[in-house]
């Protein structure tokens, strides 16, 4: 700026009228007041915990009431603001208990295992405790997976300093050490919990880093806690150097179990159907057999991942129409390349008034994403040919015959998809749901196979390939599948009497029912022996302690010792009918809402009625039949990345990456 321009600028600034200056100052004050008011509380918030389940409403006559959000009961709001009557209502509200039960999640349930964190304030008695803030910061970083460097960001520290003037900046190295300390503390807590666990089932899975080419294995433990809640805990991530053999996997698993002190508590191990996993389980089975007795002769020890078996079956079937899948995949991918193509496709969707607004691009390693891609693309089968007329470079449009094939395939894949979704849960028992889903798959395959008379039909070879894979893994009776279903009080022996004749031919069904019954009673007898052995040890210890004290009390009290020996002899006589006999003779539990039924809750209520059988059911129901829980630890599917575009007509396409599949969404 020249000297003349500077002089003119200063002159113009000095010549501003006082009224204008006053207006500007007033505006600045208004802005400042507005900024301050943004962070001021308008009304004192309710602090009582009961208001989490109640809401304040005004009746037509103007009376204020508190309404329960669960059962809609209206309670009085007292002038004294006392809420004890509201608390009593919530404790007895049946609908609230049902809702809380449905809303519980594995990692955040308030049981004795997952302690409710009592947050201690950092400011007590007028003194600020930075150590408590460091601990809270470490938990925050771990909970939300923040980078350690976030603690050094200027804006973050400015915010903390504003609320807490005594806040001290935490370096990335300090927060790293604090996180390690939190990990070690939580590990000690988990070790204490596992000491009280009688049996634990494991799942394991492998993953190779795409960039580093390093292979890792995760080991997850599954068990039922003292509150009869299903729990899962990641026990270890292990780096396995090449060459990766079954013996190396077995050594890694055993080392992990030894570190946690649970090598004598392992019940089952669930793995994928890889040859190295078979070798691993043979080695571990031999090792555990030497150190302890495996229940049921180790017949339940090796559990094959059901989801992986279903995946193999579907992949064999999809290979018969891979050219159709390739065309649909390329079509969706073609639309995704440019915004102009998306907008043109959206215009055609609007013209045809297609009510659907989503296309999915599959992930080749996940068959269910392929099913989702096919089932959504078929809704736009009339749009693709019209799009081809407007886009000369679009060359992979499926033909009308291809769409007919997709329709037929999706009807079968829908059954597999439903079964996979049910058995892949990790928040509820799945071993009792196993048989019904496998039976359904078998029946659908047999029905479709009988309906197709033309061996040249592509569906014939597709179903034939699926049936061969089914017979390979489930041609012989799966004991865990059957016993788990029997220990569901809704099923009992009726479930195998219903399913086996439809799964196995003639005499094979009867033979398999007999095998299951024998294995069931064999397993129960082993639990009875184990229960009596544990009871005997406790009784012996108490009796020894009583005899040591006998010398210090009067001789007349020795009559109690004789009576104790008499009771011990009489009570050890087995009743005519066992828990298992009584359980099977009683009718099946009729449940109107099967979706909300909790088998563990039922056994918890009937623990006193079936003292030994309830322990056996608890251990069986804790067995996971898939490795999904372990696979999820390697998956970043929950982190969704969205990219959006919008055209003139208001249509919006969003490419969403989640769980290995990409969704092309159209929003009106």
Q: What is the DSSP string of 378-410?
A: GGGTTHHHHHHHH-TT---PPPHHHHHHHHHHH
* pLDDT confidence band for 574 (50 / 70 / 90): low
Please report the pLDDT score of residue 87 as a whole number. 85
Residue 95: predicted pLDDT: 73
Between these two residues, 55 and 485, which has the higher pLDDT value? 485
**pLDDT single digits (tens) 506-525:** 889 999 999 999 999 999 99
Q: What is the pLDDT of residue 33?
A: 54
Q: Report the distance separating Cα 293 and Cα 527, nearest Å.
A: 12
What DSSP designation does 46 have? P
Which residues touch 585 (CB under 8 Å, ≥6 apart)?
Answer: 577
Query: Contact, 250 vs 283, CB < 8 A?
Result: yes
Query: Measured between alpha carbons, how far is residue 460 from residues 321, 378, 408, 467, 655 in Å?
Result: 12, 22, 12, 11, 36
- The pLDDT of residue 120: 62
pLDDT of residue 546: 37
pLDDT, residue 25, reads 53
Q: What is the pLDDT of residue 647?
A: 37
Q: What pLDDT does 538 receive?
A: 53
pLDDT of 256 > 60? The answer is yes
**Which of 126-140, 345-359, 649-663 is least confident?**
649-663
CA 323 – CA 422 distance, rounded (Å)? 30
Stated as kind and residue range, the H or E segment containing 31 is helix 18-38
Question: What pLDDT shows up at residue 355?
Answer: 85
Across 91-105, 304-318, 489-503, least confident range: 91-105
Using alpha carbons, list the distances in angstroms from residue 420 to 32, 430, 441: 58, 11, 11
Q: 363: which residues sit within 8 A by CB, 6+ positions away?
A: 369, 660, 661, 662
How much is the CA Rg of the chain, to the nearest whole Å? 33
Whether omega before 243 lies within 30 degrees of 0, making that bond cis, reads yes
**How many other C-beta atoms lie within 10 A of the C-beta of residue 551?**
7
Q: What percent of the chain lies above the pLDDT cut of 90?
A: 42
Res. 637: pLDDT tops 80 = no
pLDDT at 304: 93
Specify the DSSP class assigned to residue 586.
Answer: S
In this prediction, residue 628 carries a pLDDT of 86
- The mean pLDDT value of the chain amounts to 80
Tell me: the pLDDT tens digits for 188-245?
999 999 999 999 999 999 888 777 778 899 999 999 998 999 999 999 999 888 888 9
Residue 426's nearest CA partner among 658, 625, 191, 193 is 625
pLDDT bracket for residue 112 (50, 70, 90) = very low
Mean pLDDT over 177-192 rounds to 92
Those residues with Cβ within 8 angstroms of residue 34's Cβ, 6 or more apart along the chain or in another chain: none
Give pLDDT, residue 558.
59
**Residue 176 in tokens:** 């790293």
pLDDT band at 100 (very low <50, low <70, confident <90, very high): low
CA atoms of 456 and 320, how far apart (whole Å): 12
Task: Give the rounded distance of the alpha carbon of 108 from its chain centre.
Answer: 11
- d(CA 392, CA 334) in angstroms, rounded, equals 12
Q: Identify which of 428, 446, 431 has the alpha carbon closest to the alpha carbon of residue 478.
A: 431
Report the pLDDT value the prediction gives residue 456, as an integer from 0 to 100. Answer: 74
Is 547's pLDDT higher than 50?
Answer: no
Number of residues assigned to the chain? 668
Res 122 pLDDT > 50: yes
Of 153, 61, 141, 54, nearest in space to 96 by CA:
54
Q: What is the pLDDT of residues 424-447, one digit of tens each?
A: 888 889 999 989 999 999 999 999
Contacts of range 333-341, beta carbons closer than 8 Å, 24 or more positions apart: 333/361, 334/394, 334/396, 335/359, 335/664, 336/361, 336/655, 336/662, 336/664, 339/645, 339/647, 339/653, 341/391
| pLDDT at 214 (0 to 100) | 85
Q: What pLDDT is recorded for position 645?
A: 33
Whether the predicted pLDDT of 544 surpasses 80: no
DSSP H helices, 319-360, are 322-336, 339-352
| Residue 163 reports pLDDT greater than 80 | yes
Per-residue pLDDT reduced to its tens digit, 577-601:
889 999 999 999 988 777 789 999 9
CA 168 – CA 237 distance, rounded (Å)? 34
CA 546 to chain centre: 49
Quick one: average pLDDT of 343-369? 85
For residue 540, report the phi and psi dihedrals to the nearest 5 degrees: -65, -40
What are 25's strand-pairing partners?
Answer: none
Six-digit token string for 274: 């890889």
Q: At what angle do helices 434-451 and 479-486 cross, to 10 degrees?
A: 120
The more confidently predicted of residues 541 and 96 is 96
Residue 314 predicted with pLDDT over 60: yes
Least confident of 142-156, 354-368, 553-567: 553-567
- Beta bridge mates, 667: 652
396-405, 450-459, 636-645: least confident range = 636-645
- Give the residue among 219, 198, 191 at the shortest CA–CA distance from 280: 219
Tokens linked to 457: 């039909």
Mean pLDDT of 389-403: 91
């Amino acid at each position: 700026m020249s000297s003349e321009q500077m002089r003119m600028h200063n002159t113009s600034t000095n010549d501003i009228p006082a009224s204008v200056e006053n207006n500007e100052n007033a505006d600045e004050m208004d802005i400042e007041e507005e900024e301050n008011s943004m962070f001021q509380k308008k009304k004192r918030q309710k602090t009582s915990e009961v208001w989490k389940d109640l809401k304040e409403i005004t009746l037509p006559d103007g009376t204020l009431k508190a309404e329960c959000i669960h059962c809609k009961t209206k309670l009085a709001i007292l002038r004294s603001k006392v809420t004890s009557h509201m608390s009593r209502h919530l404790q007895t509200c049946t609908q609230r208990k049902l809702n809380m039960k449905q809303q519980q999640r594995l990692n955040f349930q308030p049981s004795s295992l997952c302690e409710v964190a009592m947050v201690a304030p950092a400011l007590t008695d007028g003194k600020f405790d930075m150590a408590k803030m460091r601990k809270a910061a470490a938990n925050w970083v771990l909970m939300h997976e923040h980078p350690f460097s976030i603690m050094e960001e200027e804006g973050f520290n400015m915010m903390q300093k504003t609320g807490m003037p005594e806040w001290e900046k935490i370096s990335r190295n300090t927060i790293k050490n604090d996180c390690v300390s939190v990990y070690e503390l939580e590990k000690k807590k988990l070790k204490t919990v596992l000491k009280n666990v009688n049996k634990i089932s494991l799942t394991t899975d492998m993953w190779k880093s795409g960039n580093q080419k390093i292979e890792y294995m995760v080991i997850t433990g599954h068990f039922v806690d003292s509150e009869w809640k299903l729990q899962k805990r990641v026990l270890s991530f292990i780096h396995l150097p090449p060459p990766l053999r079954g013996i190396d996997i077995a050594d890694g698993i055993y080392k992990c179990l030894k570190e946690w002190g649970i090598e004598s508590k392992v019940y089952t191990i669930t793995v994928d159907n890889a040859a190295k996993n078979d070798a691993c389980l043979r080695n571990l089975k031999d090792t555990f057999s030497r150190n302890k007795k495996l229940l049921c002769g180790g017949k339940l020890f090796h559990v094959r991942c059901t989801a992986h078996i279903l995946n193999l079956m579907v992949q064999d079937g999809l290979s018969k129409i891979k050219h159709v899948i390739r065309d649909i995949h390329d079509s969706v991918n073609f639309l995704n390349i440019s915004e102009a193509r998306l907008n043109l496709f959206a215009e055609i969707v609007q013209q045809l008034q297609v009510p659907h607004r989503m296309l999915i691009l599959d992930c080749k390693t996940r068959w269910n994403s392929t099913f989702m891609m096919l089932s959504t693309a078929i809704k736009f089968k009339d749009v693709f040919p019209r799009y081809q007329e407007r886009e000369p470079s679009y060359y992979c449009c499926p033909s009308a015959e291809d769409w007919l094939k997709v329709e037929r395939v999706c009807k079968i894949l829908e059954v597999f998809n439903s079964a996979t979704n049910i058995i892949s849960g990790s928040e509820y028992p799945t071993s009792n749901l196993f048989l019904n889903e496998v039976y359904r798959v078998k029946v659908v395959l047999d029905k479709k196979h009988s309906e197709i008379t033309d061996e040249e039909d592509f569906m014939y070879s597709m179903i034939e390939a699926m049936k061969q894979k089914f017979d390979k893994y489930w041609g012989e009776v799966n004991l865990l599948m059957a016993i788990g279903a029997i220990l569901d009080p809704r099923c009992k022996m009726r479930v195998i009497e219903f399913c086996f004749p439809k799964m196995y031919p003639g005499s094979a069904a009867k033979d398999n029912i007999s095998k299951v019954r024998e294995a069931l009673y064999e397993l129960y007898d082993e639990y009875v022996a184990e229960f009596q052995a544990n009871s005997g040890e406790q009784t012996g210890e108490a009796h020894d302690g009583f005899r040591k004290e006998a010398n210090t009390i009067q001789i007349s009290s020795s009559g109690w010792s004789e009576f104790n020996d008499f009771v011990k002899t009489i009570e050890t006589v087995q009743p005519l009918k066992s828990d298992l006999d009584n359980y099977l003779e009683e009718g099946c539990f009729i449940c109107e809402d099967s979706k909300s039924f909790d088998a563990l809750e039922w056994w918890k209520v009937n623990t006193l009625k079936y003292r030994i059988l309830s322990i056996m059911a608890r251990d069986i129901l804790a067995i996971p039949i898939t490795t999904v829980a372990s696979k999820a630890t390697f998956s970043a599917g929950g982190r969704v990345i969205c990219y959006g575009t919008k055209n003139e007509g208001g249509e919006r396409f969003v490419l969403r990456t989640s769980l290995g599949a990409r969704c092309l969404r159209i929003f009106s």
